[in-house]
Amino acid sequence: MPASWNLEFFRNVVVSMIALILSIAVHEFGHALVADRLGDRLPRSQGRVTLNPLAHIDLLGTIALPLMGLLFGVGAIGWGRPVMIQPLAFTRKLRMKTGHLLVAIAGPLMNILFGIVISLVGLLLLRTGLVQNPLVLKAIFGVVFLNFILAFFNLLPFPPLDGGAVVAGLLSDRSKVVASLQSYGLYLAIAVMAIPFARRVYAVPAAVLYELWLKLLGIR
């Protein structure tokens, strides 16, 4: 057992896993909710229009890989069980590609919204003195940063990430860019996760937004 595997380490792992599972559930709920609002009843029939984490957990992407990443110090970005949609079922007056774009971008936006809500809760606890333990406040604002990270990571413009669907919705189906992303998107996603320097592509914008938001709240 590595020397770093002490009681405090495992406590941090448990807190991180809970935060990640809740954040992924919020993300997938965003996809399901928007698809449902657009008239696609498939997510609702599959029980996905809910904030219950159990409905969105993928054993590999939500539990196993993030847990291994946390235990061995390589980071933990996971994914939930994909929300299945039927764009042809959209009843709103919009193009199928536009509907797919809206469903895709809903996940990252929900993470940003969740981060904002959690930060406001943290600010309230801080200002009222209900919580004075710096470790608790650090954990709360860690959840905020995690959600900003998840949002920007998923907005990277290549499939299977949500940003890939956004790009496809904005460009023509015949676009060479779309064709290239569909062919190499998975490899790009793996490279961004695996290469430490490449992680800055999404980590830096997330950190900038996080710092700007904390300054706006008067915490920085």
Least Cα distance to 154 among 31, 68, 14 occurs for: 31
Q: Provide the mean pLDDT of the chain.
A: 88
Q: What is the Cα–Cα distance from 59 to 119, expressed in whole angstroms?
A: 28
With a CB cutoff of 8 Å and minimum separation 6, the contacts of 75 are 69, 199
User: pTM higher than 0.85 for the full model?
Assistant: yes
Per-residue pLDDT at 174: 59
∠ at Cα 24 (15, 160), nearest 5°?
Answer: 135
State percent of the chain over pLDDT 70. Answer: 95
Q: Which residue has the higher pLDDT, 215 or 179?
A: 215
User: Token match 């930060």: residue?
Assistant: 119
Instruction: Inform me whether the pLDDT recorded for 64 exceeds 70.
Output: yes
Distances in Å between the alpha carbon of 57 and those of 20, 115, 186? 11, 20, 21
124-144: pLDDT as tens digits: 998 888 888 888 888 999 999
CB neighbours of residue 15 within 10 Å: 16
Per-residue pLDDT at 186: 78
Cβ contact 35:43 at 8 Å: yes
185-201: pLDDT as tens digits: 778 887 887 787 888 99
Token pair for residue 153?
């990571």
Least Cα distance to 102 among 185, 40, 55 occurs for: 40
Helices 96-128 and 134-154, axial angle in degrees (round to 10): 170
Per-residue pLDDT at 180: 72
Q: Which residue has the higher pLDDT, 168 or 10?
A: 10
Cβ contact 162:107 at 8 Å: yes
Per-residue pLDDT at 39: 92
